[in-house]
Structure 1
Amino acid sequence: MQVLNRPWGAMHYRIDGPQDGPAVVFANSLGTDLRLWDALLAQMPGIRAIRFDKRGHGLSDEGEEYSIADLAEDCAALIEATASGPVVLVGLSIGGMIAQALAAARPELLRALVLSNTAAKMGTAESWAERIEAVETRGIAAIADTIMERWFAPKFRATPELALWRNMVLRSSPTGYVAACRALAATDLTRTTATITRPTLVVAGDTDGSSPAELVEATARLIPGADFRIIPEAGHLPCVEQPEAYVRTIAPFLQEHAR
């Protein structure tokens, strides 16, 4: 296991692939850890994949209350510690917000970015407050089934694999989950995302209940020259339920920009 020491504690990360491969950093969604990308990376040999657990998720320490900007600083520190130059950053959901914030604040660290199932602003203050209250009063189990419905298309929800992702959510730290929800509730990146100059691919799923395709497309329109793609029969985590289609969508972009 690999650890990057941050002012708030230990951040767990993992590197797979050849040392001389193009560096691609992956940022996870709310309620998941770096295993989110397993199926995808199995089909993408040759890249140097750098994954990490953000604060309060997976094997990383929880730290204190934080902002999306703080999470972007964590990602910047990881890139500086593990890559010899700028990287392609692939961020999904809150990971995509981390990518947007980093691209605006530290563009020199990035060659390009993939924004997946994300937006410049996700949800409302009221919706996040309701979710936080549910977790704090009744635990994550109270929202687990709703999360599965928002994350996955009906076809995937009928498979045995759904139980594994439900268990990942259930085993999340309630404190860490709530801290991430508070960061999301407080964030609107509309102004800074419009300043992004790095090549950008924006990806949506056509059955995403957390970040609907039209919301994701609206964020793509903020970024000059951004390419927008929709993956059919995919929900909020297309790298999980449609890994082959996800690879077909992002691989040409990575081949063009990763070196």
Structure 2
Amino acid sequence: MSASRPAPLTRFYPTGGIDLAVHEWPSIGGGVPIVFAHATGFHGRVWDAIIARFPDHPAFAIDIRGHGQSRAGPIADWRVLANDVADFLDQAGIAGAVGIGHSMGAHTLLQVAADHPEAFSRLVLFDPVILAPEYYTAAETQFTADNPHPAIRRKRDFASVEAMIERFATRDPYDLFDRRVFEDYCRHGLVPAASGEGLELACAPEVEASVYGSSRSNGAILEAAKRVAIPTLVVRAQMTNLSDFKSSPTWPQLAGILPQGTDLYRPDMTHFHPFQDPEDAARIIAEFIGE
């Protein structure tokens, strides 16, 4: 697998009142398309280090609504994210792709696969935010306008990319990240500030907090999973508790309800597996798609 690849072309696909940004790499071979979906608070370019290892495949890394260059406000329903991705795939004429998702992005791709059976031929889901059934039936409200998710307090403004790199390089969990992935996260995770001075997070804190706050919005995801009749690999990290961002949120029995599900438990990894060790994540993907 090659370790380098030209910079992508970014295209915008109108969907649900926004322009969905997708970073696209052409292939130098005849491989099937690979579609990447990222975690809450990140963006499509965190996949660059892994995409570089699949030059024979056209690659598409989505900036999920409200993240990266897909400018949007707070998110109340995760099914909207799946609708966005399905619209993009339809407009781009993509079918039979390999879907690679992480966290919220993995949840999104699984929902797309359930609703649009032609979209994907295989899925690799790194620590999908798909919890046990009782999580979705709990009566209490997890977060409210008066008690928002702590992500809303994130530092928003930075003088430069270098300032963000310096601030977070030694902080948990960023100190776990592969250096290239960490720098890609910072470099592509900032946009010119609305004030006209410096830079600000592309995923605004209120948007990130809204994603966490609406994590129970798609309670039908477990029933949807039962309709996904393609080979699907669920890669689960260490499990401690949901209040720890490094802990896996994935229901351990998820692979068991997938018609062709396979469970890969990796207690040696945290929730940030693809960022910690992109080489290992790429190896898992390559083995699962037969390369």
1:213/1:5 Cα in 2 relative to 1: closer, same or farther (>3 Å)? Answer: closer
Contact 1:22 1:47 in 2 (8 A): yes
1:176 to 203, 207, 210: 207
2:34 match: 24
**Which sits farther off after the overlay, 163-172 or 180-189?**
163-172
C-alpha displacement of 1:182: 3.3
Per-residue deviation, residues 21-54 of structure 1 (Å, max 9, x unmatched): 3101111100000112111112222111111111
CA distance in 1 between partners of 2:119 and 2:179 (Å): 39
One-letter identity of the residue aligned with 2:150: A
Aligned Cα RMSD in Å?
A: 3.4
C-alpha displacement of 1:5: 1.4
Contact 1:206 1:231 in 2 (8 A): yes
C-alpha displacement of 1:90: 1.2
Structure 1 residues without counterparts, runs of 5 or longer: none
**Which sits farther off after the overlay, 158-167 or 75-84?**
158-167
CA distance in 2 between partners of 1:28 and 1:62 (Å): 16
CA distance in 1 between partners of 2:94 and 2:15 (Å): 20
1:221 to 235, 245, 256: 256
1:57 match: 67
**Which sits farther off after the overlay, 117-126 or 21-30?**
117-126
2:231 match: 199
**Which sits farther off after the overlay, 5-14 or 119-128?**
119-128
Q: Which has the larger radius of gyration?
A: 2
C-alpha displacement of 1:161: 7.3
1:13 to 22, 38, 49: 22
CA distance in 1 between partners of 2:267 and 2:260 (Å): 23
TM-score, normalisation: structure 1: 0.80
Contact 1:22 1:48 in 2 (8 A): yes
One-letter identity of the residue aligned with 1:223: L
CA distance in 2 between partners of 1:103 and 1:78 (Å): 13
One-letter identity of the residue aligned with 2:252: E
User: Which secondary structure state, in structure 2, belongs to the residue aligned with residue 184 of structure 1?
Assistant: coil
2:154 match: 140
Equivalent runs, 1:102-181 vs 2, <5 Å = 102-121=112-131, 127-129=142-144, 132-136=148-152, 139-141=153-155, 149=172, 156=176, 165=185, 168=189, 171=201, 172-181=203-212
C-alpha displacement of 1:128: 4.7
1:253 aligns with 2:288: yes
C-alpha displacement of 1:162: 5.7
1:242 match: 277
1:35/1:166 Cα in 2 relative to 1: closer, same or farther (>3 Å)? Answer: closer
Contact 2:98 2:123 in 1 (8 A): yes
C-alpha displacement of 1:65: 3.8
Identical aligned pairs, as a percentage? 21
One-letter identity of the residue aligned with 1:181: Y
Contact 2:11 2:22 in 1 (8 A): yes
Contact 1:119 1:219 in 2 (8 A): no
**Which sits farther off after the overlay, 27-36 or 8-17?**
8-17
Contact 1:93 1:118 in 2 (8 A): yes
Contact 2:44 2:62 in 1 (8 A): yes
One-letter identity of the residue aligned with 1:224: P
User: Which secondary structure state, in structure 2, belongs to the residue aligned with residue 255 of structure 1?
Assistant: coil
CA distance in 2 between partners of 1:26 and 1:8 (Å): 22
Contact 2:95 2:119 in 1 (8 A): yes
**Which sits farther off after the overlay, 101-110 or 16-25?**
16-25
1:255/1:61 Cα in 2 relative to 1: closer, same or farther (>3 Å)? Answer: same
Structure 2 residues without counterparts, runs of 5 or longer: 1-9, 157-166, 191-199
1:9/1:207 Cα in 2 relative to 1: closer, same or farther (>3 Å)? Answer: same
Per-residue deviation, residues 84-116 of structure 1 (Å, max 9, x unmatched): 432121111000110121121111222121111
